[in-house]
Amino acid sequence: MPGTLSASIIAFARLHHEAAYALILIVALSEALPVVGAVVPGDAIILGISALVPTGALHLWPLIGAALAGSVLGDGFSFWLGRRYRESLLCRWPLARHPALIARGEDFLRRHGRKSIFIARFTPGVRAIIPVLAGILRMGIVRFYATDVLTALVWAPAHILAGVAIGASFELLGAVAGRLALIVALLLGVLGLIVWATRYALVHLPSRAAAAQERLWRWARARNTWLTRPLLSILDPSRKEFPGLLLLGALLVASLWLFLGVLQDVLSGDPLVRADEAVFHFLQSLRTDWIDQIMVVTSELSDSAVLIATTCAALIWFAWRRNWRAAGHTVAAVIGASFFTLVFKVALRIPRPYAVSSGWNAFSFPSGHTVESAALYGFLAIVTVWEVRAHAKVLVTTVAAVLLGATAFSRVYLGAHWLSDVLAGIAFGLAWATLLGIGYLRHNPPPLGAGGLCTLVGAALLAAGAAHVEQRYRADMTLYAVREEQQVMPWASWWGHAWAQLPSHRIDLAGRVEAPLTFQWAGSLEALQAELTGKGWRRPVPWSFRSALAWLNPHDPISALPVLPHLEDGHRESLVMVHAVTSVREPQRLILRLWRSDVRVTGLGPKVQPLYIGTVVEERAVRIAPIITVTHRVPDYDGPRDTLGAAIRARRLVERKLEKRQRGWDGGVLLAMLSFPPQGA
């Protein structure tokens, strides 16, 4: 909920710039209010809104002023409340419902004394209660406000400038790398959240759920009605499995929600489908032999032969323990996952990125490796975690998550599946494993011997995996090798009409449509570079530690700034050139970016020539003095394209038929080559 709230507020500020300053003031004020400040995600909202400064949408100093005013007003109001109502305020709503928060604040004041006003400003949780407690304890008004204002003078710029730095980093990285950096940040954030959530859920939530269970049971016991009678049997405190079943129910709902969301995007062709291709192309461009070897081995560890071996090991253990219910649920996990995979593959018939299988397995959605791995290892992890201690719970869950995550990544990296395939596979596999786990655990099952089960399954995984890798490694290295699919056409076909078949817009790594592709070049990049060099175009400043420092010096010219990388449908740039703009007051430059397409043309010489697609954009430098320099793209694609066309002799301007006109683009695409071929060629 806090994440949704902060995202909604930041999105509103992005659309309504004039209201952003008021939002900053209100959020900073609310952070200082008793209880409210502990609920409102103020830091996230302030950082998110401040990140809009480098785009030019908002101004730095008014934001700092709004944050400063809001924090001082909020603290001052809370301090006044404490002085006005004294201890009676602690007995009123909402403070009366949060005794733990009050106790933390009082302990904080005792430990830090007069420094608590400063320290609490930067300490989540207690900063919403310290000002009101300072008022209740009759801290001197002059002392409080002097400390509070000085603290706000540090806090407000620190938070606003941190947000500006985040926004500037995304501007500096460009749309690649804005998107790429954002994805990396999200992955790191999600990883950290999973580790924290796993530990919290397995260590702390069961005790809290048990306490809530007992309170609800007492409430139901005091009311003998048709509604409370069935609740008494469910909430009976003697049923120690209830808190764990509640957590499994939450995991089931979350997994089904993710699966249905991915399925809806796949069926409707939402941006996730475009992101599938972008992520695929990006990973293919990063492939190296030694990473291929690791990924092939990782993928083979989740092949059917290995999963069958680990399943048999688990069944042997359950049979030795005479736990036939666990054995039956394990078989159901594997068979159900396989049946689900077959049904959806045949029903949807989505082709794989690379043809690596035949028959019904030639279809992609969902990934059978991830569905079956998630179902098997998920179920075994659930029943194991049920009877081990807290530290072992975290260890077992982490090992299962790493194994499943490595499998999913290897399938996307090797081109065997799309990103959506593995997301759907993980989601459904976990949902199925959780459903079976709830069915198995709700009747107080006998002990499994978790240590022996983990040892036997782990040994089977390693032994069967090693044997399977030894048998399949060479063939799979050939099967999953990088493949380049090229379309060859006569230059006249491309020049006449086939140019329109190439992409019209750049697709970023998140699957979003970006700048129009207004330039197509048939020929070598060396020839184009030589053609443009004599017309004022040049290669940009290469990236280095020293050139990167130019972004931190607002006095360096825009020509000293290296060009930020971009991706097109996952492909890295093949050529980047820049052209200085000297006829304007503000520092600007034109940037040409070219990406290699999957088309090659004949008839332009003795060799088949590659065809490149690209875009020409105008960048303007924005000085956030004395902090940093950032650039942003001017929404004009026609002028830069025409400037490029004037530097090339063999060219032709054609026009795309656009369903909807785009700001700054008339639909024109510049076709160019080194020279026109002889008549009849």
Q: Which residue has the tokens 């695409």?
A: 669
> For residues 189 and 621, what is the distance between their CA atoms, to the nearest angstrom?
31
pLDDT (0 to 100) of residue 173: 47
- Average pLDDT value for residue range 226-245: 57
Indicate whether 179 pLDDT > 50: no
Indicate whether 194 pLDDT > 60: no
Least confident of 99-103, 420-424, 538-542: 99-103
> For residues 480 and 294, what is the distance between their CA atoms, to the nearest angstrom?
12
More confident residue, 433 or 226: 433
The reply to whether 160 and 83 lie within a common domain is yes
The reply to whether 401 and 311 lie within a common domain is yes
CA 395, chain centre distance (Å): 25
Neighbours of 353 (CB within 10 A): 20
The reply to whether 328 and 409 lie within a common domain is yes
The reply to whether 326 and 441 lie within a common domain is yes
pLDDT digits (tens, 9 = 90+) for 46-66: 777 777 776 666 777 788 888
| End-to-end CA gap in the chain | 65
Q: Among candidates 502, 17, 427, 391, which has minimal Cα distance to 261?
A: 427
- Average pLDDT value for residue range 419-443: 86
Least confident of 110-119, 396-405, 449-458, 471-480: 110-119
**Which of 126, 149, 175 represents a domain boundary (last residue)?**
175
Is 571 strand, coil or helix?
strand
State if pTM tops 0.85. Answer: no
pLDDT (0 to 100) of residue 180: 47
pLDDT (0 to 100) of residue 312: 92
DSSP class per residue in 396-464: HHHHHHHHHHHHHHHHHHTTSS-HHHHHHHHHHHHHHHHHHHHHHHTT-PPP--HHHHHHHHHHHHHHH
In a domain, 203, yes or no: no
> For residues 48 and 231, what is the distance between their CA atoms, to the nearest angstrom?
44
> For residues 246 and 434, what is the distance between their CA atoms, to the nearest angstrom?
11
The reply to whether 231 and 266 lie within a common domain is no
Q: Total structural domains in the chain? A: 4
Neighbours of 191 (CB within 10 A): 12
Range of the domain at 524: 488-673
> For residues 196 and 613, what is the distance between their CA atoms, to the nearest angstrom?
44
Contact 559, 589 (CB under 8 A): yes
> For residues 441 and 445, what is the distance between their CA atoms, to the nearest angstrom?
6
Q: For residue 430, what is the domain's CATH number?
A: 1.20.144
Residue 308, amino acid: I
- Average pLDDT value for residue range 248-264: 82
pLDDT (0 to 100) of residue 228: 58
pLDDT digits (tens, 9 = 90+) for 65-91: 888 888 888 888 878 877 777 666 666
More confident residue, 104 or 362: 362
In a domain, 192, yes or no: no
Provide the CB-side half-sphere exposure for 595 (13 A, CA).
Answer: 25
**Which of 240, 261, 283 represents a domain boundary (last residue)?**
240
More confident residue, 393 or 471: 471
Residue 372, amino acid: E
Paired residues of 363 in beta bridges: 351
In a domain, 61, yes or no: yes
In a domain, 201, yes or no: no
> For residues 601 and 489, what is the distance between their CA atoms, to the nearest angstrom?
5
Indicate whether 344 pLDDT > 80: yes
The contacts of residue 288 (CB under 8 Å, 6+ apart) are none
> For residues 327 and 39, what is the distance between their CA atoms, to the nearest angstrom?
46
Q: Dihedral through CA 15, CA 18, CA 20, CA 25, nearest 10?
A: -160
pLDDT (0 to 100) of residue 331: 92
Q: Which residue has the tokens 């820049």?
A: 578
In a domain, 328, yes or no: yes
The reply to whether 404 and 513 lie within a common domain is no
The interaxial angle of helices 390-413 and 271-285, nearest 10 deg, is 80
The reply to whether 235 and 245 lie within a common domain is no
**Which of 479, 499, 518 represents a domain boundary (last residue)?**
479
> For residues 95 and 100, what is the distance between their CA atoms, to the nearest angstrom?
10
Residue 218, amino acid: R
Neighbours of 463 (CB within 10 A): 14
The reply to whether 472 and 449 lie within a common domain is yes
Indicate whether 184 pLDDT > 70: no
> For residues 567 and 259, what is the distance between their CA atoms, to the nearest angstrom?
28
Least confident of 276-285, 371-380, 510-519, 636-645: 276-285
Residue 456, amino acid: L
Take residue 241 and report the two structure tokens written for it: 């499995």
The reply to whether 228 and 263 lie within a common domain is no
At 409, is the pLDDT very low, low, confident or very high (cuts 50, 70, 90)?
A: confident
CA 551, chain centre distance (Å): 26
What's phi and psi for 35, nearest 5 deg?
70, -50
pLDDT (0 to 100) of residue 3: 44
The reply to whether 511 and 369 lie within a common domain is no
pLDDT digits (tens, 9 = 90+) for 569-606: 667 788 999 888 765 566 778 889 998 888 888 887 77
Q: Among candidates 438, 381, 468, 377, which has minimal Cα distance to 202?
A: 381
In a domain, 188, yes or no: no
Contact 418, 365 (CB under 8 A): yes
What's phi and psi for 410, nearest 5 deg?
-65, -35
At 38, is the pLDDT very low, low, confident or very high (cuts 50, 70, 90)?
A: low
More confident residue, 93 or 268: 268
- Mean of all residue pLDDT scores within the chain: 76
Contact 231, 410 (CB under 8 A): no
The reply to whether 465 and 532 lie within a common domain is no
Q: Indicate the helix (H) or strand (E) that contains 67.
A: helix 60-85
Q: How far is CA 242 from CA 308, 442, 558, 642, in A?
A: 32, 8, 63, 69
> For residues 26 and 143, what is the distance between their CA atoms, to the nearest angstrom?
25
> For residues 119 and 125, what is the distance between their CA atoms, to the nearest angstrom?
12
Indicate whether 176 pLDDT > 50: no
pLDDT (0 to 100) of residue 310: 92
In a domain, 680, yes or no: no
The reply to whether 467 and 435 lie within a common domain is yes
Take residue 394 and report the two structure tokens written for it: 């975290």
> For residues 379 and 596, what is the distance between their CA atoms, to the nearest angstrom?
46
- Average pLDDT value for residue range 115-123: 65
In a domain, 679, yes or no: no
